[in-house]
Amino acid sequence: MISSGIHEYMKVRQYIVDMSHHSDTEHALPSERKISEMYRVSRSTVRRALSDLVKAHYLIKCPKRGYFVNSHRIGLFNGKIIGLIMHDSMNAFVSASELETLANLYTEAAKYPVAIQNIICPNPEQLAVDIQNSTLDGILWYGVPDHLRSCCEQLRQTGIPVCALFQGNSEPETDGDYIYLDHRRESRLQTRYLLKRGARTVLFPDLPKTDSFVQGYFQALDEFGIKPERSCIFSEATFAQDLPDLYRKLRFDGVVCRYSQINDVLQFAKAENLSVPDDLQIITGTSPFSGSATRTLKPFSRIFRLMFRQLWNRMNGKAQKTLKLNSLEWSLISGNTTRE
């Protein structure tokens, strides 16, 4: 079956740009027919991608000879090309909360002679097939979802070096390079911070597909001799409207929430004449938009330092051992939504 949608166009265009970085100016790129067969797309899709890159001066079209790299536009690249996969690989847009993640990632990438190729794939099950036909030197996968762990293993089986960050409910079973970010450590840190400052009834979000997050919350309560109450686990979907009823029933004095929910809590506190942080304390997670709120921070710098170092060594045949790390700790910034 031959397809020609926008995804196929972008996939072909990415391949051509990727290939051009590794090609010299004396040899033509693969033909339209060869690229069409390789990616199972129509020749018109390939022709459009090539034509657009000619218009952008990345390529030069020579009649009867084919397409050649325009060295004045691209220049010959002697480093490595790393494919970057974010989460499920399906979204071409970056959320505001991911900006800090990417800033740290590219800061570390700048220390190596590498180019970063963003991988977008509406059908993640085809990732291994698509990437196997590319000239990528390695893959960095940030935030492999639980349901795509098998896809990550398929990528490894293609022979391309892969370094992955997992954030699911359990550590992955793999022989490959990875970091596992255990969210129990974050939620335990958040909850303990509130409890140490006098909170005794703490609301906690019911995050979908993240059971490990609530386990850290329960662990902290147990350490302080507080019996966990399921009624303190709030639904994110109806959080704002549920706050008044929850307060009447529970008289909570602490809230762990997403950064996007802080304003809801502050508005509720104002309506109930509750002082923050004297009557109600709030803590949130990593976000560049948390303002002056107390928040936890992912260890971004160490994560990407370790991942890029391992991937670089793996791509160059210098990795002496497999990266398997599951002990990274969050840090915490104290703000004006918790007591001193």
Query: What confidence tens digit (pLDDT) does each residue in 41-71 have?
Result: 899 989 988 988 888 777 889 988 898 887 7
Domain segments of the chain as ranges: 6-69, 80-181+300-330, 184-296
Is domain 6-69 classified as CATH 1.10.10.10? yes
Query: What confidence tens digit (pLDDT) does each residue in 294-310 have?
Result: 999 989 999 999 999 99
Structure confidence at residue 165 (pLDDT):
97
Q: How many CA atoms lie within 13 A of 301 on its CB side?
A: 2
Helix (H, G, I), strand (E, B) or coil at 30: coil
pLDDT beyond 80 at 223? yes
Of 171 and 20, the one with more pLDDT: 171
The CATH class of 184-296 is alpha beta
Of 340 and 12, the one with more pLDDT: 340
Of 253 and 62, the one with more pLDDT: 253
Q: State how far the Cα of 257 lies from the Cα of 264, in Å rounded to an integer.
A: 10
Show the 3-state SS of 9-26: HHHHHHHHHHHHHHCCCC
Confidence of residue 2 (pLDDT cuts 50, 70, 90): very low
Are residues 83 and 140 in contact, defined by beta-carbon separation less than 8 angstroms? yes
pLDDT beyond 80 at 134? no
Q: Looking at mean pLDDT, say which of 15-19, 170-174, 219-223, 260-264 comes out highest.
A: 219-223
Lowest-confidence region among 149-163, 201-215, 216-230: 201-215
Q: What is 80-181+300-330's CATH topology?
A: Rossmann fold (3.40.50)
Rounded mean pLDDT of the chain?
Answer: 87
Q: State how far the Cα of 271 lies from the Cα of 243, in Å rounded to an integer.
A: 11
Structure confidence at residue 28 (pLDDT):
86
Structure confidence at residue 121 (pLDDT):
78
Query: What confidence tens digit (pLDDT) does each residue in 273-293 have?
Result: 999 999 999 999 877 666 799
Burial of 113 (0-12, 13-18, 19+ CB in 10 A): exposed
Residues ≥6 apart with Cβ < 8 Å to 123: 7
Lowest-confidence region among 54-58, 155-159, 196-200: 54-58
- Are 6-69 and 80-181+300-330 the same fold in CATH? no
Instruction: Tell me the sheet residues that pair with 138.
Output: 82
Query: What confidence tens digit (pLDDT) does each residue in 89-101 have?
Result: 877 667 766 888 8
317: left (phi over 0), alpha (psi -120 to 50) or beta: left
Structure confidence at residue 53 (pLDDT):
83
Read off φ and ψ for residue 331, nearest 5 degrees: -105, 175
Question: What is the average per-residue pLDDT within 184-206?
Answer: 96
Structure confidence at residue 80 (pLDDT):
86
Confidence of residue 130 (pLDDT cuts 50, 70, 90): confident
| Percentage of the chain modeled with pLDDT above 90 | 54
pLDDT beyond 60 at 76? no
Beta strand pairing call for 324-325 and 281-284:
unpaired
The pTM (predicted TM-score) of the whole model is 0.77
Question: What is the average per-residue pLDDT within 208-237?
Answer: 89
Burial of 204 (0-12, 13-18, 19+ CB in 10 A): buried
Q: 172: how many CB neighbours lie within 10 A of its CB?
A: 17
Show the 3-state SS of 162-213: EEEEECCCCCCCCCCEEEECCHHHHHHHHHHHHHHCCCCCEEEECCCCCHHH
Question: What is the average per-residue pLDDT within 136-148?
Answer: 92
Helix (H, G, I), strand (E, B) or coil at 3: strand
